[in-house]
Amino acid sequence: MAIRWFYYAAPQNFYALAGRLWPWLAALATALGVAGLWVGFALAPEDAQQGEGYRIIFVHVPVSWMSMVIYLAMAFWSILGLTFNTRLSGMMTRALAPSGAMFTFLSLWTGALWGKPMWGTWWVWDARLTSELILFFLYLGYIALTSAIDDVRRADRAGALIAIVGAINVPIIYFSVKWWNTLHQGASVSLTRSPSMAQLMLWGMLLMALSFWVYTLAIVTYRVRSLILERERHTAWVQALPEVSGAKK
Amino acid sequence: MNIFFTVVWRDLRLAMRRKAEVLNSVFFFVVVAALFPLAIGPEPETLRHIGPGVLWVGALLATMLGLSRMFESDLRDGSLEHMLLSPHSLGLMVLGKITAHWLLCGVPLVILAPILGLQFDLSPQALSMLCLSLLLGTPVLSCVGAIGAALTLGVRGGGILISLLVLPLYVPVLVFGAGAVQALESGVGAQAHVSILLAMLLPALFFSPWACSVGLRIALE
Amino acid sequence: MRWESWSQFWDMGGYGLYVWGSMAVTALCMGLEVWLARQAQRQALALACTEAEEAS
């Protein structure tokens, strides 16, 4: 098992694997997405309190989950990269960041669109939304730092450190914001769903969450390939690739 | 331990030769504290309410201003490389630099805050809690900020980049620092806030020099 | 099937703007992401091809 992991740590081998994987992941994500949307919009009943407006959760919850999962994944790859000094870890982290930032933005956007009809304002300083906002800044910070440093290896490793430091701080930030929120607002103005969700609603949400997860895997796998090509373009194996050598006039 | 004091003393002496840089942050703090009442209005009730928050944000921004300077001059004159190559503990040296930064930037803020707090018509109890929360919080700001400074050494757009990196990490300190004063004023009591500030300070003092050292080695390799 | 007519579906019980506003922006962002990723792949391939040509 250990040999297999280190085999795929080489960009050349991972490039081939990723190339085979991403189409399947994309197809699976689409299938899950269609199923989730069908269950969520065609089958699930309306909510007792929120009417049809609750259906935003079918995207809001998945994008929020992904925004957090992706940051954890970035921290994981960062620890791996700093420990084993592998090139691929830095590429994985960089490939994850744009998706994470996008999902965080979507979480804020859909959260605002959910909050407006339910609570009357576009923005509430709800503990989760505020933490999501700070998470957005963490993503932007990583992207800004890695873009600003010219030396690719140094940028990777600096980004890895800030990702790890950020990840350690995420629970602290969440805890402090939650504390701040309950002190200042008394009754919690939270966007959590009531625990008793109709079965169909739950199924719809799970299907959508899975769909977004697999979509992320697909897009990150695809994106890493571009990074590998870009960074390893001087090597013999890249130049021997059919899509590269075949294009030579 | 000797190296720690050597580095602190060295940084302090160097800063004394360039007093203007040090006074930058202090001046910024004073100006920010003066700007808010001008923007919001002189009504004492409002000012008393926003005072702790405004002063805390001012202190935070003033600290952030001085961060890029922490390692910059040492990088330029080559002494940073010597520090990395020396047999002494890099962590201790970094802790020395953080301490010097705090003495030059944080301590003046702690001293000035009660004076500026008078402009916001804060009660004596509020003023002393403000002082205490800043006393516990500004070292954390220096510690965490140092990590940002180490990572952005010599990178273009350094000042704004450090702010973007370090601001999310500053939020907990701000929440509990300003919150302590407000908790005291509202009668709830600030023991929990102060304990949490302490709980953030001690790990920061231990973790930050190590993270900084890693960051410096990444930056200088 | 819950909906009796298309207009009912788009209206979403009065919440149409919010629900479809969310769905639309989400779809837009994901579409943009896919397009940008394909652009990046095209550019990386182009770079690699010029490298190969220079090497030969």
pLDDT tens across C15-42, in order? 888 888 899 999 999 999 999 999 999 9
pLDDT given at position A188: 40
Task: Check whether B19 has a pLDDT greater than 90.
Answer: no
Token pair 């804060």 is found at: B122
A interface residues, C as partner, C-beta within 8 Å:
41-46, 51-53, 55-56, 59-60, 63, 98-99, 102, 105-106, 109-110, 113-114, 116-117, 215, 219, 222-223, 225-227, 229-230, 233-234, 238-239, 241, 243-245, 247-249
Q: Mean pLDDT over residues B106-123, rounded?
A: 93
**A47-72: pLDDT as tens digits:** 777 777 888 889 999 999 999 999 99
Count of structural domains within chain B: 1
Query: Are B95 and B120 spatial neighbours (Cβ–Cβ below 8 Å)?
Result: no
Cα A165–chain centre separation: 18
CA dist A158 and A138 (Å) reads 14
Q: What is the ipTM of this complex?
A: 0.88
CA dist C3 and C10 (Å) reads 10
For residue A238, name the pLDDT band (cuts at 50, 70, 90).
confident
For residue A189, name the pLDDT band (cuts at 50, 70, 90).
very low
Residue A23: which of A209, A180, A217 has the closest Cα? A217
For residue A47, what are its two tokens?
Answer: 């909510």
Token pair 């994470």 is found at: A100
Residue C14: which of A76, A110, A190, A118 has the closest Cα? A118
The helix (H) or strand (E) run that includes residue B163 is: helix B158-185
Which of A162, A166, A176 is facing B172, going by the closest CB pair?
A: A176
Using an 8 Å CB-CB cutoff, list chain A residues near B179. Answer: 179-180, 183
Task: Check whether A157 has a pLDDT greater than 60.
Answer: yes
Least confident of B60-74, B142-156, C2-16, C17-31: C2-16
Ordered by start, the domain boundaries in chain A are: 55-232
**∠ CA A118-A124-A127, rounded to 5°:** 115
Q: Give the mean pLDDT of chain A.
A: 87
Query: Are B219 and B70 spatial neighbours (Cβ–Cβ below 8 Å)?
Result: no
pLDDT given at position A1: 57
In a domain, C38, yes or no: yes
pLDDT given at position A184: 60
For residue A220, name the pLDDT band (cuts at 50, 70, 90).
very high
Q: Mean pLDDT over residues B45-61, rounded?
A: 93
Q: B109 is in which domain, residue-wise? A: 2-220
Q: Mean pLDDT over residues A95-108, rounded?
A: 96
CB contact under 8 A, A229 and C41: yes
Residue C36: which of A14, A145, A156, A219 has the closest Cα? A219
The DSSP symbol for A52 reads: G
Count the Cβ atoms, other than its own, within 10 Å of residue A145. 24
* φ, ψ (nearest 5 deg) of residue A47: -85, 150
CB contact under 8 A, B155 and A148: yes
Residue type, C14: G
pLDDT given at position A2: 62
Chains in touch with C (≥3 Cβ pairs < 8 A): A
Burial annotation B39-62 (CB, 10 A radius, 16+ → b, else e)? eeeeeeeebbeebbbbbbbbbbbb
Say whether A208 sits in a helix, a strand or coil.
helix
**B131-147: pLDDT as tens digits:** 999 999 999 999 999 99
Which of C2, C37, C44 is facing A219, going by the closest CB pair?
A: C37
Using an 8 Å CB-CB cutoff, list chain A residues near B152. Answer: 145, 148, 158
Task: Check whether A120 has a pLDDT greater than 90.
Answer: no
Token pair 């201790």 is found at: B92
Please report, rounded to a whole number, the percentage of residues in chain A having pLDDT higher than 90: 54
Q: What is the length of chain B?
A: 221
Residues 6+ away with beta carbon under 8 Å from A78: A89, A93, A159, A160, A161, A163, A164, A167
pLDDT given at position A9: 84
Instruction: Return the C-alpha torsion angle B159, B164, B169, B175, nearest 10.
Output: 100
Task: Check whether C12 has a pLDDT greater than 80.
Answer: no
Q: Mean pLDDT over residues B171-191, rounded?
A: 91
Count of CA atoms in the C-beta half-sphere (13 A) of A100:
27
In a 10 Å sphere around its CB, with 0-12 CB exposed, 13-18 middle and 19+ buried, how is residue B3 labelled? Answer: middle
Say whether A51 sits in a helix, a strand or coil.
strand
Q: Mean pLDDT over residues B154-181, rounded?
A: 91
